[in-house]
Chains A and B, each alone.
Chain A
């Protein structure tokens, strides 16, 4: 545990160290060294936990109300550490090259990057509500300063502002949540919170607060509004870290809270399933309508958070219905998707960063043909595109397969609700997968293939090795997890056990579920702490091995097919080249159906590619079209553009915030911008608190 804390301290210390350094190169390398050293230190305990060793809870005395300064590293925390430990160092290395030509002082951005990394690591081991909130806020603030790196641009300031407001709405919900929970338990230590013994109604209220609080960070639809603003505004390696890793702390928080709330009600599971489907389908629909490469990727984060939430929701329903297969594979698929998404999404953001770095534009419709000048970036980008579309042999398929598997094998004809869940999973995931494939065919196809659509795209150059190698490493990780799928499932099991409370021991042999159907919800998992082995209901004594073995056996077969696919594809390609005239090539123009003078601007664009699909979703998207059809025999120059603003932002939050603004307007009278008045307010509040506290004592 000390090693882990040391891993959190090193990046911050070295980050502080770079603040006074004036030479950009030195500062970059020192700060990056901090991230690498910190992550290396933290990796040691994480690996030991994931390989089955238990770390004791570490408690230190703390001069604060609400318990001790406690840290713990269990399977769940350790698994969520993996994306950080993988992505943060690689993105930092990439940042070295990305920021090298920046005119600005780099001290602050490097410092906040290191603070963000450290605070995310610390958040995962915090076992006290107050500590958790402090670190949560540290994470939010440091990422805010990273988002507003280009603060001379007004739209970046605007994005930063949106992010700051959104994240604090979330934090407000969490404050209330921990206040209620702490009051019930009498302490803010998670150990104590787990024993709070909440009434079901109160637990449901807390669950809703958690969905709002953590969902804002994770990007649940419609709380996602900050993602498409903040991710494009931030430097690309920061977007990679934020979108790939930071938003997952919301998922972690939700899972951690579920371990504290006791028996899940069926409604919780359904809530998460619905949120997952809505975020997944609408996230990808909005992504399809975007022209800004990074904005498109940001909406895809919403989509993938949807897939993760769908898996977790299925797991929760499994807990209430006592179906081990749903618990283990639903939760397992969802949690494994956290790691997978971290890998391919950060890879995509790094790839987008390379494109921006080399062409200076994020507008997909101005790019094209980059594969010829940026071969490395193109290859890694296409790997990530296939992975995020859930295609074999890459990692995205593995986690989606687990969720499908959970849905299909949980479905039983005598229990209609399991079938409803299976329909949601099967049809929903298939639709999301199909739309994601469409969207990434567009993103990769329009940006990298065809002819360049602008001078910037024509003049693109491949990026340097410090940016290429992190992308190559992440692309290898995509393929690696795809080909080591059974091992990946084993890694995720410790995390599943923390949330699913399914006994670990394989010695208890499988007692097959009575009907597999619906059991009394009251029986589900009684205790969370392993100290007092409470009598477990019969259905749950079934170890997670049975569904896991089946799934692992399937995954092993899939790995064989995937390997066969790679070998066969290469083989067929080689055969094709060795045909009698297989390597003879004649170069000519693209066949354009007899039209003599095709130009690069006549190619299909991102907007035209996505138009049939965005038309299907026009009710939600509300795409606005400007410009019109040229008329007459000698038409004047015509323009056409489409623009898809965020519906939730325009029709939900904007009116809501305007309403709040108007109703709180009278309060402006006390806010007049004079420091001494504010000091007076603070003094008054402190005195009142003192009186209240003293009154309580007597």
Chain B
């Protein structure tokens, strides 16, 4: 087994919590605050891992197993992500389908664990989560189809390895459209403004955060860590699209990739700071809109 491909998953596992810290610092900057340290999530995780847990009397083993399943899905999903010119540890034709369904399994586990508490608030969040996910998935696959048409159907690593400066000259529009579409998904899937607000727990409009209301201790640590990995996964997909890694010198690829991820996080922070939260009824519209972006890209590809 080669060691190099494992560098990216390792970076993801170590650095993912830092990225959420960066978003929070950006938001604090825009709000004129100093904000928490970028390492805050690490402190939180360590604190939580040393705690005992509190469970509702309504719960069953589902809520106890849920976080482990969610985290396992996310960790495996990071194994499918390429790093520019460097292939992922696991790559095969159609790995993107598995990636999408691993995220789906994680969501299924989160939703069931939320329903396990019997709380109407968590039921509400679960209901919204499944609704938006059902709309987000077609959009993700349409974006994938654009890449498949352009680079041929193979593993994700092979496809993004095909992106070079020439690709940008010939079909940069496609890449930008798909990247925009996936960026909207990133915001929606990671419960960011304008779809959801990661900071509120007690609003009637919340989605993801309310589903994890009843977690505490190590379970909460697992869930938070899994959430940061999920953010990393989506950011990595967008960066892979936008940075023509093949045209870079090999020693430059890793720093550029990491810088790309940091930039995406800064962008998320800016979006969160300057955009207002959407009403819930509007959320399906932006999800369908993101699918339309990919559809437009498909049409451009077919006509051009």
Give the residues in chain A near B131, CB-CB below 8 Å.
438, 612-613, 616
Least Cβ–Cβ distance between A620 and chain B, in angstroms = 15
**Which residues of the other chain, A, contact B180 by a CB distance below 8 angstroms?**
none
Tell me the smallest distance from the CB of B254 to a CB of chain A, in Å. Answer: 25
Given A411-B149, A564-B76, 20 other A-B residues pairs in contact with their CB atoms under 8 A: A368-B118, A386-B108, A409-B93, A411-B153, A426-B145, A434-B136, A438-B134, A445-B116, A445-B123, A449-B112, A450-B58, A450-B116, A553-B93, A565-B72, A571-B72, A576-B68, A582-B218, A587-B55, A590-B119, A603-B120
Binds A, one of B59-67, B228-236, B258-266: B59-67
Contact of A636 with B by CB under 8 A = no
Complex CA gap A609/B57 in Å reads 22
Chain B residues, Cβ within 8 Å of A208: none
Task: A602 to B118: give the CA distance in the assembly, Å.
Answer: 9
Chain A residue at minimum C-beta to C-beta distance from B54: A586
Asked if A561 is an interface residue, CB under 8 A from chain B, the answer is yes
Check if A444 is an interface residue, CB within 8 A of chain B: yes
- A390 contacts partner chain B, Cβ-Cβ < 8 Å: yes
> Contact at A426–B142, with CB atoms within 8 Å?
yes
Chain A window 585-614, contacts with chain B (Cβ cutoff 8 Å), 1 for yes, 0 for no: 111111111000010101110001111110
User: Is A391 a contact partner of B137 (Cβ separation < 8 A)?
Assistant: no
Distance of B191 from chain A, by nearest CB (Å) = 16
Q: What are 5 A-to-B residue pairs whose CB atoms are below 8 Å?
A: A390-B101, A430-B140, A449-B118, A565-B76, A581-B217
Would you call B137 and A434 a contact (CB within 8 A)? yes
Query: A449 — which chain B residues lie within 8 A by C-beta?
Result: 60, 62, 112, 115-116, 118
Instruction: Let me know if A419 is at the binding interface, CB within 8 A.
Output: yes
CB distance from A432 to the nearest CB of B (A): 9
In chain B between 45 and 62, which residues have their CB closer than 8 angstroms to a CB of chain A? 49-62
Instruction: Scan A434-455; emit 1 where CB is below 8 A from any B CB, else 0.
Output: 1101100110111001110000
Partner of B141, one of A391, A427, A560, A592: A427
CB distance from B214 to the nearest CB of A (A): 6
Closest to B98 in A: A558
Q: A557-B92, A609-B123 are in contact. Are A422 and B72 (CB under 8 A)?
A: no
- For window 276-290 of A, CB contacts with B under 8 Å fall at none
User: Which residues of A lie under 8 Å from residue B58 when comparing CB positions?
Assistant: 369, 450-451, 589-590
A550 located at the interface, meaning its Cβ lies under 8 Å from any Cβ of chain B in the complex: yes
Q: Residues 395-435 of chain A: 1 if any B CB is under 8 Å from the residue's CB, otherwise 0?
A: 00100010011001101110010010011001111110111
User: What are the residues of chain A within 8 A of B98 when measuring CB–CB?
Assistant: 392, 401, 558, 561
| CB of A660 within 8 Å of the partner chain | no
> Any chain A CB within 8 A of the CB of B208?
no
| Given known A586-B55, A591-B213, contact A600–B298 (CB-CB < 8 A) | no
Determine the distance from Cα of A176 to Cα of B253 in the docked complex, in whole angstroms: 67
* A380, chain B: closest CB distance, angstroms: 14
Q: How far is the CB of A578 from chain B (nearest CB, A)?
A: 10
Bound Cα distance A429, B141 (Å):
9
Considering the complex, give the chain A residue whose CB is closest to the CB of B77: A561
Chain B residues contacting A450 (CB-CB under 8 Å) are 58, 115-118, 123
Pair B120/A592 contact, Cβ less than 8 Å: yes
Q: Is the CB of A572 within 8 A of B50?
A: no
Residue in B118, B128, B213 with the greatest tally of chain A CB atoms within 10 Å: B118
Q: Smallest CB–CB gap between A598 and chain B, Å?
A: 7
Interface pair A451/B118, CB less than 8 Å apart:
yes
Could you tell me the distance between the alpha carbons of A419 and B299 in the complex, rounded to whole angstroms?
Answer: 10
In the complex, chain B residues whose CB is within 8 Å of the CB of A434: 104, 130, 133-138
A554 at the interface (CB under 8 A from B): yes
The complex places the Cα of A391 from the Cα of B111 at a distance, in Å, of 14
Partner of B214, one of A437, A580, A591: A591
A664 contacts partner chain B, Cβ-Cβ < 8 Å: no
Q: Is the CB of A382 within 8 A of B112?
A: yes
A569 CB within 8 Å of chain B: yes
Determine whether B205 belongs to the interface, using a CB cutoff of 8 Å to chain A: no
Q: Is B94 an interface residue (CB 8 A)?
A: yes
Tell whether, in the assembled complex, residue B76 and residue A445 are in contact, meaning their CB atoms are under 8 Å apart. Answer: no
> Are B108 and A389 within 8 A (Cβ)?
yes
A584 at the interface (CB under 8 A from B): yes
Q: B184-202 vs A: 1/0 string, CB under 8 Å? A: 0000000000000000001
Residues in B whose Cβ lies below 8 Å from that of A688:
none
Contact of A573 with B by CB under 8 A: yes
When the two chains form the complex, which single residue of A431, A561, A587 contacts B138, counting CB atoms closer than 8 Å?
Answer: A431
Per the bound structure, the CA–CA distance linking A397 and B97 in Å amounts to: 10
CB distance from A113 to the nearest CB of B (A): 34
The answer to whether A604 and B108 touch (CB under 8 A), given A450-B58, A579-B49, is no
Within 8 A of A (CB), among B5-41: none
Chain A 364-395 residues near chain B, CB threshold 8 A? 368-369, 371-372, 378, 382, 386, 389-392
Residues of B within 8 A of A568 (CB): 72, 75-76
B83 at the interface (CB under 8 A from A): no
Closest beta carbon of chain A to B76's beta carbon, Å: 6
- The CA-CA distance from A617 to B80 in the complex, in Å, is 35
Cβ contact within 8 Å between A588 and B301: no
CB B94 to nearest CB in A, in angstroms, measures 5
CA distance A441 to B138 in the complex (A): 19
B227 at the interface (CB under 8 A from A): no
- In the bound complex, do residue A413 and residue B52 qualify as a contact, i.e. CB atoms below 8 Å apart? no
Q: Which of A461-498 contact B (CB under 8 A)?
A: none
Q: Closest Cβ of chain B: how far from A441's Cβ, in Å? A: 5
Contacts of B60 in A (CB 8 A): 371-372, 378, 449
User: Which chain A residues border B64 with CB–CB below 8 Å?
Assistant: 573
Q: Which residues of B contact A445 (CB under 8 A)?
A: 111-112, 115-116, 123, 126
Query: Which chain A residues lie closer than 8 Å to B270 at the CB level?
Result: none
B209 beta carbon closer than 8 Å to chain A: no
* B73: interface (CB < 8 Å): yes
Cβ A586 vs Cβ B52 within 8 A? yes
Q: Are B56 and A590 in contact (CB under 8 A)?
A: yes
Cβ contacts under 8 Å, A372 to chain B: 60
Is the pair B148, A411 in contact by a Cβ cutoff of 8 Å? yes
Give chain A residues whose Cβ lies under 8 Å from the Cβ of B101.
Answer: 390-392, 397, 433
Contact A560/B127 with A372-B60, A569-B68, A581-B51 known, Cβ cut-off 8 Å: no
Q: Which residues of A contact B121 (CB under 8 A)?
A: 592-593
Interface residues of A in 539-582 (CB under 8 A from B): 550-551, 553-554, 557-558, 560-561, 564-565, 568-573, 576, 579-582
Closest 7 interchain pairs by CB? A604-B123, A434-B134, A450-B118, A445-B115, A584-B52, A438-B130, A573-B68
B127 x A611 contact (CB < 8 A):
yes
On chain B, the residues within 8 Å of A401 by CB distance are: 94, 97-98
For the complex formed, measure the closest distance between the CB of B225 and the CB atoms of chain A, giving whole angstroms.
10
- Give 1 or 0 for each of B74-101: 1 = CB within 8 Å of chain A CB: 0110011000000000101111011011
By beta carbon, the residue of chain B nearest A325 is: B153
Bound form: Cα–Cα A392–B137 in Å: 16
B71 proximal to A (CB < 8 A): yes
Which of B61, B119, B124, B149 lies at the interface centre, i.e. has the most chain A CB atoms within 10 A of its CB? B119
Interface residues of B in 270-304 (CB under 8 A from A): 284, 291, 295, 298, 301-302
Q: Give complex CA distance A190, B203 in Å.
A: 66
